Amino acid sequence: MAQSNIDILYEKLAQIPITNKNKKEIEEIKKALDARDLKKVIEKIKKLNVEDDEENNETEKEETQNEQQLNKENENKEQQNEEKNGENKTTFTNTRNNKIESRYPKQLSLPELEETYVGLLLYNPKLITKFYIIFEQCAFEDDKILNLYKSVLFTEGSKYASEVAKRHFNFSKATHESNILKEELKKKVSLKKYDMEKIYVELRKLFLLRQNYERTPIKETQDKIMEITNYELYNQMSIEEVESAINQVNVTGKFKQAILNQNLTNFLEDGANNLTEGLQFPFPILSGVFKGMRKGETMAYAMPSNAGKSRFTINMAANVAFVHKKKVLIISNEMSEEKMKLCLITTILNNPEIQKLHGEKLEKTEGELLEFKFRPDSTKNVEIDEDGFVIKKENESQKQFVERLSRISTEFNKTIAITNWVNNEINNSIYFVNITDHTNEELQKVIINYYYKEKIEYIFYDTLKTDTANIGIGEELKKTTTILSNIAQNFEVFIFATLQLTESATLPINLTINDLAVSRTVKEVLDTLCLVKQINNDNLSDYEYSLKEVDTTFYDLKKYKNPDVRYYACVVDKNRAGAKPKVLFRLNLAYNRWEELGYLRLKQQKK
């Protein structure tokens, strides 16, 4: 019986708010309780209650006046705030029938849960021993409920709450309103049976979601955090599993996610997707085979050394930039800026498709441009060399020579008109980065920087090699290729790269992945791979080509005396889009003019 009385006195003492004024008295009461001096305890508790009532009356009077004034101001503001922030905010009615503006969206605003949790603690303060929420995990929406929680820590449940539970919290503010709210919450939870452990887990999950929602400024990520509450098995998830789900949202936010069986009809009927809408190659057969240059894919062309990898890259990039009017980035560890510019001018002057755009019909070799050789309109009174080009005078400056050419050479004026046309094509520029000494991280940053800076979606990399620290380690090339493939998919860009073929005795038409000079596993990462090799002039008679893949008419490969004219076999070794034909190209190296002739095969032996 005595022990029961002591417990009652402990409970009464716990209900008295601790203040700086009564803190010493309460400590003395606790000592008297420990000493079982019940008479002294009762007297002191009565005295404290009288003082508390007097103070509360004064406080209540002052707060009532303040509250009335604030309510008038807040009523006018409340509707405006709801209209302004209706998308992200909601309102709820709590136990006190007062409207509280929520700083969280509806899915994360559960006032009833907060009230039930605190009500259960007030009803049975011993529960704070186990079911406490530390300061760093606390995310109460209603400050008045938070105030009651602090009251449980330092008043009602003071002797049951650990130092860990109390750490960093300040004391609660005891008011007449808070005392009324305490009684209301206790009465509310007494009318129904609750599972405190379930309430606690649900509130901790909610606090986790709220904290991560507020830390994230990106709306898309915030929406995905809110969606966690709609997970089919959310009610069965533990606190740790909700935390893992939040981490997954943050980690996979950069990855594209979808439900595959949604909008299938629209996908099929519209036909407007990256699988069918790639930019057309300047080569009809390859364009059909690969379905164009499709964003999100990584393509590679492998050729032997000095076979024309850089020139082929420029040819492709110029077509994308000027024919398709797209910005292009060329990353090179092979040719310098000057060599690339010369090759680009050669391509633009001589490419038939680009000639249609600038309107000048002209043929100028790269060698002629490099040596600044131009023919005069008339040889009268003009000194020319044996090939008919204007000779620069001995004491003539370059500026004077240019001025003289502009008066006597239409060929020169057409060339300048074309380069001026290119200068004006600023909306479809070809950007260039020479990256001879680099790491994979630097390569990645270059591409992503140009993507964000210029929204470049077509990238050409000549030649695909390992980073500087791993030169000669074949398997490292697969890592570099994987990085490029990830960029292509994540940013929806097209990446074209050249690779090195070995100098082998393999016939061009019989090339396989084994002829790569680097790691053969790179094929696993690429979407498309072509193996390209020059056909020896002495063996041209062994080959023939057709205009259709299945055809009855075949053509011989014409032999040219000009050493700049060459034939190449292009073996499609990998193609996620389907067919893998063998295609014949003719290159005029001097003009950097690549022509796709048809389907290549070895001549059949006559029976």
Do residue 215 and residue 304 come from a single domain? no
Question: End-to-end alpha-carbon separation of the chain, Å?
Answer: 119
Flag whether 36 is in a domain.
yes
- At residue 549, does pLDDT exceed 70? yes
Please identify which residue in the block is written with the tokens 């909008």. Answer: 263
Do residue 246 and residue 288 come from a single domain? no
Flag whether 586 is in a domain.
no
pLDDT of residue 541: 96
Do residue 186 and residue 321 come from a single domain? no
Q: Which residue has the higher pLDDT, 275 or 277?
A: 277
Flag whether 330 is in a domain.
yes
The CATH number for 369's domain is 3.40.50.300
Residue 524, SS3?
helix
Q: How many residues does the chain have?
A: 607
Do residue 41 and residue 153 come from a single domain? no
Do residue 184 and residue 238 come from a single domain? yes
The percentage of residues in the chain with a pLDDT greater than 70, rounded to a whole number, is 82
Q: Which of 80, 107, 132 is the last residue of a domain?
A: 80
Do residue 66 and residue 91 come from a single domain? no
Q: Which of 66-75, 128-137, 482-491 has the lowest mean pLDDT?
A: 66-75
Q: How far is CA 147 from CA 12, 141, 153, in A?
A: 19, 11, 10
Q: How far apart are CA 117 and CA 492, in angstroms?
A: 48
| Partners of residue 268 on adjacent β-strands | none
Do residue 127 and residue 227 come from a single domain? yes
Q: How far apart are CA 111 and CA 380, in angstroms?
A: 98
| Partners of residue 572 on adjacent β-strands | 530
Arithmetic mean of pLDDT over the chain = 85
444-463 in b/e form (b: 16+ CB < 10 A) is bebbeebbeeeebbbbbbbb
Q: What is the pLDDT of residues 290-308, one digit of tens each?
A: 999 999 999 999 999 999 9
Show the tokens assigned to 155.
């008043």
Do residue 72 and residue 99 come from a single domain? no
Mean pLDDT computed over 84-89: 40
Q: Which of 479, 500, 528 is the last residue of a domain?
A: 528
Number of domains within the chain: 3
pLDDT of residue 276: 62
Do residue 76 and residue 89 come from a single domain? no
Q: What is the pLDDT of residues 406-454, one digit of tens each?
A: 999 999 999 999 999 998 876 778 999 998 778 888 999 999 999 998 8
**Prior bond of 59 cis (ω within 30°):** no
Q: How far apart are CA 558 and CA 595, in angstroms?
A: 14
Flag whether 576 is in a domain.
no
Flag whether 260 is in a domain.
no
Flag whether 425 is in a domain.
yes
Do residue 246 and residue 289 come from a single domain? no
Q: Which of 26, 60, 80 is the last residue of a domain?
A: 80
Whether 569 contacts 535, CB under 8 Å = yes
Domain range for residue 36?
Answer: 2-80
Flag whether 398 is in a domain.
no
Do residue 342 and residue 459 come from a single domain? yes
Do residue 206 and residue 60 come from a single domain? no
Flag whether 592 is in a domain.
no
Structure pTM? Answer: 0.64
Q: What is the pLDDT of residues 44-83, one digit of tens each?
A: 776 766 565 555 555 445 544 544 554 454 445 444 444 4
Closest to 117 (Cα-Cα) out of 176, 180, 24, 186:
186
